[in-house]
Structure 1
Amino acid sequence: MSIISFSSSHEMRLGFSLLLLLFSLCGAMTTALNITALSSRNGYSVLECWQLASVPVDAMAAANYALGNTTVATWSTIKPRTTVGEAWAPHVQLSMILNGLIRITSPSPESANSSDSITSINSSENSLRPATTVAYIMPGTTKSSLLIAADLRSTSHITGHYTEFPSDEPTVLIQVPFMDNLAPEHIVLHDGPCL
């Protein structure tokens, strides 16, 4: 008993091509792009692992992911051993680290916040404070060298994140803002950075 039957060699080649396409699509769908993200929750900056909804398209021997509409990219060089302190994303943006190291603590430790950035945290807001998480962003793998920063000051109005560049070398970044501050479509896999 035959499960698949073909009446001609042309139909057989077409059927085989469709099977190959199906298998390649199944493989592509399982190759998700996971990126560490700085987001906002209950007024606090938090680190999360996002899985982007973008499905890779194979072209020219590469898996290509559409990330969304972007604006002008910026090349940034930060001096060695720089501490920025409490910060927020200036725009919803993708950051790619090419050299150096970024240490991000989120939400920013309470002792790092100045009195003017915390005007009045009452006990109900404090009970919503997420656990502190640390991420190291460095050149290497996709999971270690990419960050989506989406914790705008307007949404992380209680506390931002804390940023340090502890490397003995300059940290070099490419920062690519998303148009209209719209993050790529995604699901949150878990709290904390992607591992």
Structure 2
Amino acid sequence: MSLDLGEIEWAHFDIIPARYDGGLHNAPRKQFVWWISGMVHFTLPNATGEAWIYGGKHGIIFGDDTADSSEWGHGTAYPGGDETIALTIPTRNNTVPEHTVLHDGACEWQDLIGI
């Protein structure tokens, strides 16, 4: 199994301190983010849904709630006791790669079986 990331511009390695609250913000660009380690809590300002992302092989998302497509963006908090390591990979020309939407909302554990 492989995942084609499409054309990318560059990649950025981030070390986020333990218990950091990133607040409400938009994604700065259309991008993949792979949390290699740590824990991230996503919230939406106008919904009750949330997502918990744990670093590792299932820790990758695609962020496309940029200011041109989302008024409010999302909230991020890093509540763990250890720093969180992330690799950010923006797409070339701020494009969304071909994909299939499985359902609304965050992936559940059963969506990840076999990945």
Q: Confirm or deny that 1:165 pairs with 2:81.
A: no
Within 1, Cα distance between the matches of 2:41 and 2:33?
14
Max Rg structure: 1
Aligned pair in 2 of structure 1 residues 140, 99: CA closer, same or farther (>3 Å)? closer
Within 2, Cα distance between the matches of 1:147 and 1:70?
15
Counterpart among 59, 62, 65 of residue 151 in structure 1: 65
- Alpha-carbon shift at residue 166 of structure 1 (Å): 0.6
- Alpha-carbon shift at residue 79 of structure 1 (Å): 0.7
SS at match of 1:180: helix
> Which residue does the alignment assign to 1:71?
9
Moved over 6 A (4+): none
Percent same amino acid at aligned positions?
A: 31
Within 1, Cα distance between the matches of 2:8 and 2:95?
9
Larger fraction in helix: 1
The residue identity in structure 2 corresponding to 1:66 is D
The residue identity in structure 1 corresponding to 2:18 is P
Task: State which drifts further: 64-73 or 161-170.
Answer: 64-73
The residue identity in structure 2 corresponding to 1:189 is L
Q: How many residues align?
A: 108
Q: Confirm or deny that 1:133 pairs with 2:49.
A: yes
- Aligned-residue Cα RMSD (Å) equals 1.3
Counterpart among 13, 23, 40 of residue 85 in structure 1: 23
Within 2, Cα distance between the matches of 1:78 and 1:175?
12
Within 2, Cα distance between the matches of 1:141 and 1:75?
16
What are the ranges of 5 or more consecutive residues in structure 2 without an aligned counterpart? 109-115
Q: Confirm or deny that 1:175 pairs with 2:88.
A: yes
Query: After superposition, what is the alpha-carbon deviation per residue over 1:25-67, rounded to whole angstroms, capped at 9, x for unaligned?
Result: xxxxxxxxxxxxxxxxxxxxxxxxxxxxxxxxxxxxxx33322
The residue identity in structure 2 corresponding to 1:166 is P
Within 2, Cα distance between the matches of 1:68 and 1:189?
19
- Alpha-carbon shift at residue 78 of structure 1 (Å): 0.7
- Alpha-carbon shift at residue 160 of structure 1 (Å): 1.4
What are the ranges of 5 or more consecutive residues in structure 1 without an aligned counterpart? 1-62, 110-130
- Alpha-carbon shift at residue 100 of structure 1 (Å): 1.0
